[in-house]
Each structure stands twice: as structure tokens, then as C-alpha cells.
Structure 1
């Protein structure tokens, strides 16, 4: 990827790993499409240094309050028959297994170790 664009423009994500992921996930659900549009905007928008640091932290740098935590708790909610009526027709053991898997997903995705690198990224940008 050419990082030296004319007029110091932000390079397009098309043809990159990020661009490919944004395209591959499109069409699954309108809510996910909105999130993908948001990620594309984040990747293409021009940011200040301070905003870049804040975005890195908000995306994945704080297990208690970042986008990964939002994803973790959304997966747990979707996997729980108490909060997702679509799963209530499953056999009871399958419902329990789904709920447990969702809880385990949330636990794993909110592990502070998972967020350490993004936290360090934000700190490096901040100069800390």
C-alpha cells in the first residue's frame, strides 16, 4: 500500500485486510452494515493525534468500556434465550449450552490481557 498519497490524503482501505473484512461481513444484518459503515468512516476520516489516541482506546483498549466489550456483551445477549426469543424453541440443553457459550465469549473478550496492546497503542500515541 502506498502511504505517500497526493496532498497527504488518507489511503483507501479497499484491497487491504481491513477493506476485505468490511466487504466480507456486509449483508449479514442491517445493524452490522451500519457498524461496518462506521468502521469505514473511522478508517477514512482525518483525525487529530488526540482523537486517534482516544479512538484506539475506545475501540479495544479498555476491557470495561470499549467496542470489544460491546461486542462481547452483544454476543452474550444474542446467545441467551432469555434475551433472544429466537432461541427459545431449541431443546433446553441446547439453550443452556448456547447461554454458557455466550457467557464464556463475553468473559474471554473482556479479559484485560486482550485489551493491553490497544491500551499500549493509545498510550504510545499519547506519549505516555
Structure 2
């Protein structure tokens, strides 16, 4: 069976995802640009069934917190903590404390296994024989 036909081509991004990536590009940061490029690559590249499951788990479904959503949460915590982001050290002490606390909260909630359950279920729903 030939898979490289027009019927099997990976379609372009839908307008909602494309618009979201364009909006994020307005941040104009090399790190964000790399993430956007990675998302485009993942969304527009042909993958096997098994690799599709692996990618979904790596993005958000890893119940053991081994996923990108958890990594992004930990990055938020790092960026909001004056101990790891020196630019925040010029803020008033109470603002620093609040920023650190909210960053820790974001990391906690983005690592919550319940948040990852639907992506994990998505992996499980992609079955083949």
C-alpha cells in the first residue's frame, strides 16, 4: 500500500492552531521561536502510529510527569523565582515572594496527573493490531 498519496498527505495547520502560533511568535524570543518551530514540526510531519502515541505522551500524557507540560511548569517556576531569575531581584521583596509562590503553584498544577489523564487516554485510544 502506498502511503505517499494526496489522500495521505499531512494537511496544513488549521486556522486556530496557526493563529495561536502566529500570536506566540509576536513574543519575539529565540526560545519561544524554537518551541513554535518544534510544534510546527510535530504537527506537520508524518509519524507512525507508535511514534504518534509516544509523542502525545511526551507532550502531555506521561503520568510519571515525564512530559513537556510538566517541563513548562518547572520553567515557569524557574522564571518566576528571583533565586534563578536575577532580573526579578530588583522587584520589591513582597512582589518577589508572590511571583515565586505563583510560579511554584503553576509548576504544581501543570504537573498534576489529572491534567495529563486525557492525553494519556488519547495514547491508549490509538490502538492498532
Q: Is the TM value for this pair above 0.5?
A: yes
Q: What CA distance in whole angstroms lies between the structure 2 residues aligned with 1:9 and 1:16?
A: 18
4+ runs deviating over 2 angstroms: none
Contact 1:27–1:33 (CA under 8 A) maintained in structure 2:
no
Q: CA deviation at 1:7?
A: 4.2
Could you tell me the TM-score, scaled by structure 2's length?
Answer: 0.90
Q: What CA distance in whole angstroms lies between the structure 2 residues aligned with 1:46 and 1:79?
A: 37
Could you say which residue in structure 2 is the equivalent of 1:23? 22
SS at match of 1:82: coil
- Aligned pairs, number: 122
Could you say which residue in structure 1 is the equivalent of 2:51? 51
Q: What CA distance in whole angstroms lies between the structure 1 residues aligned with 2:39 and 2:113?
A: 23
Q: CA deviation at 1:123?
A: 1.1
Could you say which residue in structure 2 is the equivalent of 1:104? 105
Could you say which residue in structure 1 is the equivalent of 2:73? 72
SS at match of 1:25: helix
Could you say which residue in structure 2 is the equivalent of 1:119? 120
For residues 73-99 of structure 1, what are the alpha-carbon distances to aligned partners after superposition, in whole Å with 9 as ceiling and x for unaligned?
000000000000010000001000000
Contact 1:75–1:102 (CA under 8 A) maintained in structure 2:
yes
Unaligned runs of 5+ in 2: none
SS at match of 1:88: helix
